[in-house]
Amino acid sequence: MIHPLAIPGPDPETRQPANALPPNACDAHCHVFGPGGRFPYVAESTFMTPDAPVEALSAMHRVLGIERVVLVQASCHGYDNSAMMDAIAADPSRRRGVAMVAMDVADQDLAALQAGGVRAIRLNFVRHLAQRPDLAEARQIIARVAERGWHVELHMDAHDIPDLEPWIRTLPGRFVIDHMGRVPATAGTNQPAFQAVLRLMERPNAWAKISGGDRLSSGPPFHDAVPFARALIAQAPDRLVWGTDWPHSNIKTAMPNDGDLADLLEAYAGQTAIHRILVENPTALYWR
């Protein structure tokens, strides 16, 4: 029996970033939860969250100066992508989606998701959210979506990445490593999991999200995550995107303010790299 963990909502008092983000900036990793009365949560969800609807997400983005959005399907909604698809449909030119689908999803369902703005699927390997996918079945669905020009986002526990590395190296199409591999900042950039991430990023079909600095960090102001983002930027600045991860479910540190997370970009990179990560790279990955 699942006993969902009750989690807090996001900080509603978003602080304006110290420096304006570039025009057409993209939050390439955020979620919508509910509202539950319209888009129910699945019974098997491992966490309970306050509603975090698209209206609240948009209000946060207006403060940050974010103009484009990539919504990632939330595990609390399982394979029912309705809340995400509804949010995309409200502003289809500026929103894209990353869906969660069953391994035996029908081709017509994939086609409907694509028509609605989906450009990728997400596979959850993190043990607190879902049972680890069967690798053979996962390869089959990845090959199917790669034929559509989609990519796969890999959401992994850090300690599993070295074991998964050989499998990841053989994947067809592009793959995206979520949240810098979710590695603990306290273990440093030489830890085996992050070194595996860097090795994978040597591949031309490898991308990563320099999101989740608050997840890597031991706590605010999250500066211990900076060396990890800098290492990725030094290696593959043209294959990185950034996101807030709003509304920050299952966060282990204090709830971050999204303005503070936007300000971390200044510590990560110079203006040229920031423009590439917020504007050019998400265009290449999601708007094609």
Catalytic residue check, 245: yes
Kindly name the residue from 27, 178, 214, 245 that is annotated as catalytic. Answer: 245
Instruction: For residue 118, give the amino acid letter.
Output: V
Q: Which of 270, 265, 207, 284 is nearest to 240 (CA)?
A: 207
- Identify whether the C-beta of residue 87 lies closer than 8 Å to the C-beta of residue 54: yes
* Catalytic sites, residue numbers: 245
